[in-house]
Structure 1
């Protein structure tokens, strides 16, 4: 790639050190840790914004191909911090409130639009905005003690928060989503797996290792093609079948131009495992 295109369209996360959550990078896997365990890892105005900016930046990062998002300690995320967010919201004007709700929605947009597959590793409490982060991820792991609650109605708000009324019914069905959004009750890990919210349930002591193994397997795959699959899964929600077939024809033809496609053929012909490089 030409140097000016490299500068304009590619970024590196080397030396990246966020202020409001943990970040580590192991090979092609990035690891986000919500790290306020004494409060069950709640989000604040600052962590919302910093997470949004990270996922926006990831759209231009080639060196990271998969993301794991987890909570420190025995919980995933308890949602928006009651003292740092809920209290101040009661004193805001309408324009400021709308700016806040749009900002939280922008976090979900950025997470859904980044090309990396995002795996949520859920243990313990997963509530409110924490449940939204898990919902917006591409894949979800849980432990048997995970409890996921979209509890917005318990603070006098509608269940239509950060895309919940759009995303949740597509994951678990309209009736089950309605139950969770109207009651605010916790969904158990067993229910979540049976309903299709969680892909796997593993022992608490195996959660981090299993999430990293899954992310590393994905990162070793055809990165460009994985990103295309993620894009199509998102875009085809609003397409007719005919539109989806044409979109997929175009997407697959583009993937057939990649070097990874050629590598896969050459490896198959040589009876070897392909070594994908994401280009």
Structure 2
């Protein structure tokens, strides 16, 4: 098993919650080739780490992520041929795919600006807790590029609907946190100083929950997107039967009998609402 020790961003694990913090605040946490690669690698290997039960993804300083670094990436791309350009765009898409493939809940603590690739990274997370200062922008058209990048045209309509997604991807407009909340891009908006803490609070709750079942939930949210209703109901019937054979099901029942919060397999402590 690969140890999780990234060099291009900060990683911390506590109480089952892995916090990944993009750590180039002087560059608004813009992405370099190395960050793309290492962040994608880290998300990929997390599936083999049972100690990771939920994930918080955020940025240091006043930005979540401002997208690809103009100096490190954009200038270099002009020197590439078509084969080299496709290799790059596939590498950026791999990062998004690995967020969706990770069988752990991923919470984005959108503490500030999230534009370009940064907006797509936040979009790919399962839940977005946003600072009141957060801004989103799928700004690809502003630099002469297609709005469909890194899976944005697949994911965004699923989150906000086709009409809102079309407007955002065609115009590249930057929207604030309240606008994002209104269309469903933000799950909740909180004071700036509470953003990461609120994301971590939710992540802790999920980390103390049934990890096996949460993994199944994320798998089914992905798989059922292309199923007919009958196929989805049958798939859920089989998945739920599998979950009923997991020890967590009996644990929850026995805790209910004792009127106590359950401690699920691998969780450091039960979740209790404060």
Q: Does residue 270 of structure 1 match 2:258?
A: yes
Choose which of 127, 136, 153 in structure 2 pairs with 1:165. 153
Structure 2 counterpart of 1:175: 163
- What secondary structure is seen at the aligned counterpart in 2 of 1:132? helix
Choose which of 155, 158, 180 in structure 2 pairs with 1:192. 180
Structure 1 counterpart of 2:227: 239
- What secondary structure is seen at the aligned counterpart in 1 of 2:19? strand
Choose which of 46, 65, 83 in structure 2 pairs with 1:95. 83
Q: Does residue 220 of structure 1 match 2:208?
A: yes
In the superposition, the TM-score normalised over structure 1's length comes to: 0.93
1:194 is displaced (CA, Å) by: 1.2
* Contact 1:141–1:201 under 8 Å retained in 2: yes
1:12 and 1:200 map into 2 onto residues whose CA distance is 35
Choose which of 53, 64, 74 in structure 1 pairs with 2:62. 74
CA distances 1:240-271 after superposition (whole Å, capped 9, x unpaired):
10110111111101100111001001111222
In the superposition, the TM-score normalised over structure 2's length comes to: 0.95
| RMSD, aligned CA | 1.2
2:46 and 2:60 map into 1 onto residues whose CA distance is 22
Describe the shift of the 1:224–1:114 C-alpha distance in structure 2 as closer, same or farther (beyond 3 A): same
1:278 is displaced (CA, Å) by: 5.0
* Unaligned residue ranges in structure 1 (runs of 5+): 1-10
* Contact 1:224–1:255 under 8 Å retained in 2: yes
Choose which of 249, 254, 257 in structure 1 pairs with 2:242. 254
Choose which of 43, 46, 49 in structure 1 pairs with 2:37. 49
- What secondary structure is seen at the aligned counterpart in 2 of 1:76? strand
1:12 is displaced (CA, Å) by: 6.5
| Range with bigger deviation, 268-277 or 79-88 | 268-277
Describe the shift of the 1:243–1:278 C-alpha distance in structure 2 as closer, same or farther (beyond 3 A): farther
2:215 and 2:195 map into 1 onto residues whose CA distance is 25
Describe the shift of the 1:230–1:177 C-alpha distance in structure 2 as closer, same or farther (beyond 3 A): same
2:243 and 2:201 map into 1 onto residues whose CA distance is 25
1:17 is displaced (CA, Å) by: 2.2
1:208 and 1:148 map into 2 onto residues whose CA distance is 17
* Contact 1:221–1:278 under 8 Å retained in 2: no
Describe the shift of the 1:80–1:59 C-alpha distance in structure 2 as closer, same or farther (beyond 3 A): same
- What secondary structure is seen at the aligned counterpart in 2 of 1:22? strand
* Contact 2:99–2:125 under 8 Å retained in 1: yes
Runs of 4+ in 1 over 3 A off after TM superposition: none
CA distances 1:92-126 after superposition (whole Å, capped 9, x unpaired):
01111111111111111111011111000012210
